[in-house]
Amino acid sequence: MKKHIKLGIVSLGLLFTVACYAHTHVIGTGPSTGVSYSERQYFILWGLIPLNDVNSKMMVDGAENYAIETQQSGADVLITIGANIIIPTTISSRTVTVTK
């Protein structure tokens, strides 16, 4: 019973230490069509080693005016928590969105 209580307290503590963030980079005059493409990027070792390649240049597809937003949303936090409970590692994710 004590083990479950300790696990619950640690889990709640970790839940309150994560935060959502977003970085937006506007290129040219910014998006004009509103068409957006999103991909999820995964990392291990606290974001030091990427597990997949998200190529924003391919997502832009030659556009000259666009915005790139990288964010860790609530879904990314849940993926991170779930992955680390199932396999105790340091897997994390973030979402990259290009809006033309």
pLDDT, one tens digit per residue, over 50-90 is 999 998 888 888 888 999 999 888 788 788 788 777 777 78
How would you classify the pairing of strands 92-99 and 49-50?
unpaired
Name the one residue in this structure whose structure tokens are 């937003």: 69
Helix, strand, coil percent content, the chain, rounded in steps of 5: 35, 35, 35
Contact status, residue 41 vs residue 64, Cβ threshold 8 Å: no
pLDDT of residue 66: 93
Q: Which long-range contacts (CB under 8 A, 24 or more apart) does 50-57 make?
A: 51/91, 54/96, 56/96, 56/98
Q: Tell me how crowded residue 59 is: count the other CB atoms within 10 A of its CB.
A: 19
How far is it, in rounded angstroms, from Cα 72 to Cα 37? 16
Tens of pLDDT, residue by residue over 4-59, are 787 877 776 666 665 677 899 999 998 888 889 999 999 888 778 999 999 888 88
